[in-house]
Every structure is written in structure tokens, then in C-alpha cells.
Structure 1
Amino acid sequence: MVDKISYARKKELEHPDPFLEFLHKALEHVKYYKKQLIYMLCGVLTVVLIFIGTVYSIKSAEKNSSDILARTLSKYRDKKSGERYDFIKDDFIMLLNKYPRTSVAKIARLKFAEICYQTSNFDKAYEMYLAGLKDFKDNLLLKNFMLVCLGNTCQAQKKNEKAEEYFKQVINAKNSFLKDEALFNLGMMAKNKDISKKFFGKIISDYGNSLYKPMVIDKIKDYDGTLKKS
């Protein structure tokens, strides 16, 4: 009986457990490719650390830029209207230069453009609105808003032909946002009364709920009265 057990044990030893054999081979491979595995793990770790650092950097930049914008707007509100632009312009420029790729910078750029326009710094307003157009080129609503702002700014700069180009981009856009305002501006700018009536009539026919409708109706009546007298 002992001989039979010994013989069976001997057979087992001649054919080791498959799992242990696999584990042994795996360890041999690990030893053989030790350097390569270390390099690979270091590479993966580096990528992970870069990703974590990038996420932290983005969050930190967003927070810092948001804090700066909040402080700047608070300073702006506390100043008299005549002093506001000179008092806060450097803060806006610093924010835009230091954190140009943050979402806060896009908002700050629009706010700064608005302040520039309100304080008659039209060249700077145009620069900011033009940058805003690039920021929001993929947002159809905001793109129309930027184009209208650029048109209004060009009008303030006495660049009427350029203003017309921006307003016409709005009326030719795929969405209807602010088209009534663009049509109204084009109608007011037109030197020919018939052309003005054409733009105004478009507001009445296509944008019945527009705030501009009562004004253009009165304008058309005035034009018709003037034409009859002439």
C-alpha cells in the first residue's frame, strides 16, 4: 500500500500543478522583462500625474479668475461713471492675459466690452467683441449677439458700411435670434426710404411680437406721408 502511495506521489511530482507552473513562468517573465515593466509603469504613472495636475490647474485657474472678476466688478460698481473705465481696465486686461483660456475669461471679455462701449471707448469695445465672436462662434445665439454688438460698435465709430456687414450676417443666419434688431438697424441706416420700408416690413411680416414693431409701423406711416407730400 505504501509503495502504491509513493508511486502515485511520484507521478504527481513528475506532473506539477498547472497553476503553479503558470505562476512560475509568469514570475520568470517578470524577472526577464523587469526593466520594461518598470518603464511602462512609470509611463502610466506620469500620464496619471499629468492628468491630475492638469485638472487641478484648470480648476485653480477658473477659481482664481472668477475671484478676480468678482473683485473687479465690485470695484466698478463702487466708482462714479466717469471714473469706471480707467479704474478697472488694467484689472480686466490682467485677467484676460493671465487666464485667457478659462470660461471666466470669456465672460469677463464680454463684460469688459460692454463697459468699453458704455464709456465710449469704442475701439477697445470692438476689439473685445471681435474676440468674443471667436469665443462663441459655435454657439448660434451668442454668435448673433456678438454680430449685433459689433454692428452697434461700428455705428458708434461712424463705420456704417462695416456695421451693415455685421447686421446682414445676422439676418442671413440660420436662427432668428436678434434678427428683428438687425433689420431695424439696417432700416434706420438705409439712405433710401423704400429700402428702409423693406427692412421694416420684414419685421412686421416675420416678427409680429417684436418690440420694434410699433416703432417701424410709425416709421412706415411717416415715410408714406412724406412720400405723398413730395
Structure 2
Amino acid sequence: MANQGVSNERKKELAQMDPFQVGSTKFVQWASAHKKLLMISAGALVGVVVVFSAIMFSFKQSEIKASELAANAYEKYEEQYSQDQDAQKGYDAVKDDFQTLFDEYPNTSAGRMALIDFGKICFDAKVYDQAFDLYSQALSTVGNKAGVKNFLLCTMGTICELKNELEQGKSYYLRVEKGASNLLKDDARFALALIYEKLNDTDAGHQMYKKIAESPGSSIYKAIAQARIHK
């Protein structure tokens, strides 16, 4: 059988480019016409990537350094405190180390955690004003972490009590008592009950004891609260 020639219609179809080829051709033409713009854009993109990489590297290095400073400071405190169980001497030994950490790496995770760690050291050494300030700073960084938040609020309330600032202390305990989380809620209620008794607000104190007695689960304050209600 003789070979059939390719029809004119088929030749036209073969001559036509598919959509991908058309798009590629148009891009090449556009790129040739805008070569300078493309080079500038590519250079800018490379610059952004380099800057971003440098920033991330700097953050990582800062976290590492902050963690080292915090660990070394706390180790120094433990060594000093273990000698004679003197919290004041331990505080004196590390206060400058922690201050360096706060000054140089305030925005690191290690630096924020050190606010709580050094706050405890200050509290044990009875440096209450500094402890309160550190806990207050830490409170502004914890967000919605209820466990840490309630711990800080209760501790700040305790410091206020130790300084005989009962109304201010009450305000911190109330934030825990009225909060959505049950973590440390009975602790706050018991502290509030005692404050109300000191302020001669018997009814408010009775309400706090009642809430403790009726709260679900076990509580170290429940037996005391029940006894106060029925006395």
C-alpha cells in the first residue's frame, strides 16, 4: 500500500504549539525584555534570605548563650547555698550574674525563665521587693499558661501579705479565685479567707471556706475549711 501523505490540516495541527509551549515562549520573551528587573528582583530575594538566615542564627546563638549563663548562675547558687544553707549569701553570690543575663538576653526563653528562678532566690533571701518585680515581669510573658500564671499571682499575693499590704495581696488572690483554671484555686481561696479574717470581714471569709469545702476533689485545706464553717 502506498504511503499516504500528511494532510494539510494535520500539518497545521503539528505546527501549532501546545499551551505550555506558548506560555514558555511568552515568558522567555518577557524575561528578555525585563532582564534588568529580574536581576534586581533575584538579588533582593537573595538578600532577604541572607538577612533572615543571619537573624535566625543570631537568635539561636542568643538562646544558647542565655541558657549557659542561667545554668552557670544557678549552679553557683546551689554551690554557695549548700555550704551553710544561707539564702542571703546565695543571693549575693549570683545577683550580678542574673542581672547580666537580664540586661543582655532579655528576650530569650532562658532569660524569661530566669525571671522566675531568680525571683525564687530573691524570695528565699527575703529580698521581697526585687522578687515581686521579677515575678511581675514574668507574669507579663507567660500568656495563657494557667499553671505558671496562677503560681506567680499567688506568690505575688504572698509577698504582699509579708509586707502587710493586705488589700493588694487580696487583688492577686482574687484573680486566681475568679479565673477559669482550678489550678491553685483552693490555695488562693484559703489565703483570701485568712485575709478577710484579718480585715474583720467574717462573711467574706466564711464564703471562701465554704467554696473550699464544696470544691470537688481532695484539698489540703478542705478539713480546715469544714471545721471553720461549723465552729
- TM-score, with structure 1 as normaliser: 0.82
Give the match for residue 205 of structure 1.
214
Give the match for residue 216 of structure 1.
225
Tell me whether 106-115 or 211-220 shows the greater mean CA deviation.
211-220
State the 1:25 CA deviation.
Answer: 5.8
Output aligned runs, 1:61-210, within 5 Å: 61-80=62-81, 81=86, 82-190=88-196, 191=198, 192=200, 193-210=202-219
Give the match for residue 34 of structure 2.
33
Cα 1:218/1:22, change in 2 over 3 Å: closer
Secondary structure of the corresponding residue to residue 140 of structure 2: helix
Secondary structure of the corresponding residue to residue 135 of structure 1: coil
Unaligned runs of 5+ in 1: 1-10, 225-230
Determine the C-alpha separation between the residues in 2 that align with 1:180 and 1:25.
Answer: 72
> For each residue in 1:153-180, what CA deviation from the matched residue of structure 2 results, as whole angstroms up to 9, or x when unmatched?
1112221110001111111101111110
Determine the C-alpha separation between the residues in 1 that align with 2:24 and 2:65.
Answer: 53
Identity within the alignment, % = 29
Determine the C-alpha separation between the residues in 2 that align with 1:171 and 1:24.
Answer: 70
State the 1:95 CA deviation.
Answer: 0.7
Determine the C-alpha separation between the residues in 1 that align with 2:226 and 2:124.
Answer: 29
State the 1:70 CA deviation.
Answer: 0.7
Determine the C-alpha separation between the residues in 1 that align with 2:123 and 2:139.
Answer: 16
Determine the C-alpha separation between the residues in 1 that align with 2:176 and 2:141.
Answer: 17
Secondary structure of the corresponding residue to residue 188 of structure 1: helix
Is 1:44–2:73 an aligned residue pair? no
Aligned length, in residue pairs? 211
> For each residue in 1:178-206, what CA deviation from the matched residue of structure 2 results, as whole angstroms up to 9, or x when unmatched?
11000110111223344333212211111
State the 1:217 CA deviation.
Answer: 3.7
Cα 1:22/1:124, change in 2 over 3 Å: closer
Contact 1:183 1:203 in 2 (8 A): yes
Cα 1:114/1:22, change in 2 over 3 Å: closer
> For each residue in 1:66-91, what CA deviation from the matched residue of structure 2 results, as whole angstroms up to 9, or x when unmatched?
11111001000011323111111111
Cα 1:79/1:41, change in 2 over 3 Å: same
Kindly provide the amino acid, as one letter, of the partner of residue 180 in structure 1. Answer: D
State the 1:220 CA deviation.
Answer: 4.7
Give the match for residue 55 of structure 1.
56
> For each residue in 1:85-110, what CA deviation from the matched residue of structure 2 results, as whole angstroms up to 9, or x when unmatched?
11111111111121111111121000
- TM-score, with structure 2 as normaliser: 0.81
Tell me whether 142-151 or 28-37 shows the greater mean CA deviation.
28-37
State the 1:17 CA deviation.
Answer: 7.7
